[in-house]
């Protein structure tokens, strides 16, 4: 029972990653592996800034900013240099590993001795766990409203059209190189922000904390879509956030049931593989049903 609030909180902090992955994977139709580098990039940036004495909000803005740069690099690799998007993301991810080490100066920074966004603004009498929930909620509401508004603008519509049909949007005068770069920039800013929040709630930033984040993001997106629908963009955003919370709950439950933590990534990968293969299973099932009738 006492796991419910931390589970929801973690789901909220990670849902920014999920929204970021949604923007590339669903809106732009690109599987962007940059996130594996930009998530720890956000964590590294926030850790470096906090230990240098910055206050948490500017430190998180800096984290989102470095995430943007990561997205721009991948964007330039895949538009201007015509490197396939998947490979472009891998290149940036690998490059960021070194850069993250440079930013942190070592592989791991503890944040237990510095003020984080969760401790500095703590309301007296409120536990750290509740603070994480509140700040998580604020971040998610702010981000999702901003995303919703942005994707309703002319630029946002152009980005959505780019993912859906690049021929169409080019024929209407939009430079798809720019829209792709913008989408990647926005996505990775959110992912880095997620990394910054998660690092502060964990109490440390680690250079290895990006491993598997793309799969976690995909799991959240797919779980959300299946359980909560995809009727409209608003619906999708809410689904993705809820998907991230459900994913955390699933993880909490299987851990409670005795699954060794080392198997978590294997478990998540299998979950995502099954979910991605779902349309195929569904088609086979329908065929069999049709054959029976």
Residues near another protein, by CB under 8 A:
150, 152-158, 160-161, 164-165, 167-176
Give the shortest CB-156-to-another protein separation in angstroms: 7
Closest distance of CB 64 from another protein, Å: 18
**Minimum distance, C-beta of residue 71 to another protein, in the bound complex (Å):** 19
- Please tell me the distance from the alpha carbon of residue 131 to that of residue 121, in angstroms, as a whole number: 8
Nearer to another protein, 110 or 153 (CB): 153
Distance CA(239)–CA(252), nearest Å, equals 20
What CA–CA distances, in Å, run from 152 to 58, 146, 202, 204, 290?
28, 10, 35, 37, 41
CB of residue 277 to another protein, shortest distance in Å: 22
Alpha carbon 288 to its chain centroid, in Å, reads 37
Q: Which is nearer to another protein, 89 or 156 (CB)?
A: 156
Q: Which is nearer to another protein, 12 or 174 (CB)?
A: 174
Half-sphere exposure of 85 (CA within 13 A, CB side): 16
Q: Between 34 and 162, whose beta carbon lies closer to another protein?
A: 162
Shortest approach of another protein to residue 180 CB, angstroms? 12
Which residue, 110 or 175, has its beta carbon nearer to another protein? 175
| Residue placing its CB nearer to another protein in the complex, 50 or 158 | 158
Strand partners, 206: 108
Q: Indicate left, alpha or beta for 125 from its phi (over 0: left) and psi (-120 to 50: alpha).
A: left
Pair of tokens at residue 109: 């920074």
Min dist. Cβ of residue 82 to another protein (A): 14
When the beta carbons of 169 and 185 are compared against another protein, the nearer one is 169
The length of the chain is 293
- How far is residue 176 from each of residues 73, 198, 216, measured CA to CA in Å? 16, 33, 28
CA pair distance 70, 78, nearest whole angstrom: 13
C-alpha to C-alpha distances, 184 to 10, 43, 213, 215, 244, nearest whole angstrom? 24, 18, 16, 17, 20
Q: Which is nearer to another protein, 173 or 261 (CB)?
A: 173
At closest approach, how far in Å is the CB of 264 from another protein? Answer: 33
Nearest to 196 by CA among 61, 104, 21, 34: 61
Q: Which of 236, 215, 211, 213 is nearest to 226 (CA)?
A: 236
The nearest distance, CB 171 to another protein, in angstroms, is: 5
Q: How many C-beta atoms lie closer than 10 Å to residue 108's C-beta?
A: 12
């Amino acid at each position: 029972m006492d796991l419910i609030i931390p589970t929801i909180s973690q789901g909220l902090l990670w849902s920014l990653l999920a929204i970021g992955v949604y923007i590339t994977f669903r809106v732009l139709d690109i599987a962007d592996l940059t996130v594996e580098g930009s998530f720890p990039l956000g964590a590294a940036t926030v850790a470096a800034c906090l230990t240098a004495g910055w206050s948490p909000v500017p430190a998180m803005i800096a984290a989102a900013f470095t995430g943007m740069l990561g997205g721009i690099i991948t964007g330039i690799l895949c538009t201007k240099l015509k490197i396939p998007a998947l490979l472009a993301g891998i290149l940036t991810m690998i490059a960021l590993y070194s850069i993250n080490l440079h930013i942190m100066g070592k592989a791991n920074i503890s944040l237990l001795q510095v003020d984080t966004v969760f401790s500095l603004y703590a309301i007296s009498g409120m536990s750290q766990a509740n603070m994480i929930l509140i700040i998580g909620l604020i971040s998610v509401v702010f981000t999702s409203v901003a995303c919703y508004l942005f994707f309703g603008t002319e630029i946002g519509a152009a980005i959505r059209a780019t993912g859906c049909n690049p021929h169409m949007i080019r024929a209407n005068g939009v430079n798809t190189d720019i829209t792709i770069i913008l989408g990647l920039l926005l996505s990775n800013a959110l992912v880095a922000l997620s990394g910054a929040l998660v690092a502060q709630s964990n109490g440390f930033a680690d250079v290895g904390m990006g491993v598997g984040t793309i799969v976690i993001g995909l799991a959240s997106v797919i779980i959300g879509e299946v359980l909560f629908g995809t009727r409209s963009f608003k619906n999708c955003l809410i689904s993705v956030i809820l998907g991230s919370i459900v994913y955390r709950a699933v993880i909490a439950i299987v851990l409670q049931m005795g699954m060794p933590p080392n198997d978590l990534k294997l478990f998540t990968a299998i979950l995502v593989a099954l979910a991605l293969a779902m349309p195929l299973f569904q088609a086979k099932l329908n065929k069999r049903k049709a054959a029976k009738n």
